[in-house]
Amino acid sequence: MIDLTGKRALVTGAAGGIGGAVVARLRDAGGTVTGTDRTASDGHHSIPGDLTDSAFCDSLPERAREVMGGLDILVNNAGIITRGPITDATDDDFARSMAINVEAPFRLCRAAIPIMAEAGGGAIVNVASCWGVHPGPNHPIYVMSKAAIASLTQCLGMDHAHQNIRVNAVCPNEVNTPMLRTGFSARGIDPDTAIDTLNASVPLGRIAEPEDIADVILFLASDQARYLCGALIEANGGKPVQ
């Protein structure tokens, strides 16, 4: 049984599919959680803001520390997906994806690590993607952004272990969240029908639900993962990237 009593966590993308499940899991385990998203995600310790705002990112860990009286866990979960080949990509597609998927976690880690180090340690969990370790077709901007966060995880996992700060990532394949569903809707495909088809492509028989990923994040954030530093945990139901 994972016990986060006394632990204080900051979770980005808290209003999203995986983020909402992470907030619930961390709180169920006894943790105190500050969620952040573009709008207030719930009534508890919510700090709304836009992660493309560099000043917001730079100040967020300290604000969360003030609100909760400390900061032991950071979950870099917020992300966006830009679809299509590079020849369809705009400058804005590139800039937004890099700002939200890469620069925001960079800024949040940079600001959170000294706070954690001063307190004797902490845990950072990044949400990368299986596509960050095995590139898939026709999503080059998303794939490179997730490769960057996977690499950042491995680098920081090495660099900050000596401060008792563990940095790890979960790398999901498809998860049943608004990110996946709105992608189908935008292409004129019924999400439920598309997910039935996707379920049949997974050896375990179904794509992930947000809670399947939140449980991995909960583990990585907890002392049960005390010897993991820089690990990229693939959560894919047995389905390779195709």
Ligand X SMILES: NC(=O)c1ccc[n+]([C@@H]2O[C@H](COP(=O)([O-])OP(=O)(O)OC[C@H]3O[C@@H](n4cnc5c(N)ncnc54)[C@H](O)[C@@H]3O)[C@@H](O)[C@H]2O)c1
Number of alpha carbons in the 13 Å side-chain half-sphere of residue 65: 19
Show contacts with ligand X in window 183-242 (CB under 6 A). Answer: none
Q: Are 146 and 82 in contact (CB under 8 A)?
A: no
- Among 8, 10, 11, 16, contact with ligand X (rule: CB under 6 A): 16
Asked whether the beta carbons of 78 and 104 are under 8 A apart, the reply is yes
**Residue 61 near ligand X by CB under 6 A:** no
Closest to ligand X by CB, 77 vs 168, is 77
Q: Considering only 49-57, 62-70, 198-206, 217-225, which stretch makes contact with ligand X by CB under 6 A?
A: 49-57
Binding mask 130-169 for ligand X (x = CB under 6 A): ----------------------------------------
Is residue 227 part of the annotated active site? The answer reads no
Nearer residue to ligand X within complex by CB, 68 or 150: 150
Give the separation between CA 242 and CA 230, rounded to whole angstroms: 25
Cα→Cα distances 145→93, 130, 151, 160, 233, Å: 12, 12, 10, 22, 17
Catalytic residue among 36, 142, 208, 221: 142
Q: Pick the binder of ligand X from 177, 198, 216, 221 (CB under 6 A).
A: 177
- Listed in sequence order, the DSSP H helices in the chain are 17-28, 54-68, 91-98, 104-118, 130-133, 140-159, 178-186, 191-200, 210-221
Nearest residue to ligand X, by Cβ distance, number only: 16
- From residue 32, give the alpha-carbon distance in Å to each of 3, 14, 51, 72, 164: 12, 14, 22, 10, 20
What single DSSP character describes residue 12? Answer: E
Tell the smallest beta-carbon distance from residue 117 to ligand X (Å). Answer: 25
Nearest CA to 202 out of 228, 178, 180 is that of 180
| 23-31, 133-141, 158-166, 176-184 -> range binding ligand X (CB under 6 A) | 176-184
**Residues listed for the chain:** 242
Binding of residue 175 to ligand X (CB under 6 A): yes
Closest C-alpha among 122, 156, 109, 127 to residue 217? 127
Interface with ligand X (CB under 6 A), residue from 2, 42, 52, 163 = 52
Q: Which of 28, 50, 58, 88 binds ligand X (CB under 6 A)?
A: 50
Q: Which residues bind ligand X (CB under 6 A)?
A: 13, 15-19, 37-38, 50-52, 77-81, 100, 127, 129, 172, 174-175, 177-180
Residues belonging to the active site: 142
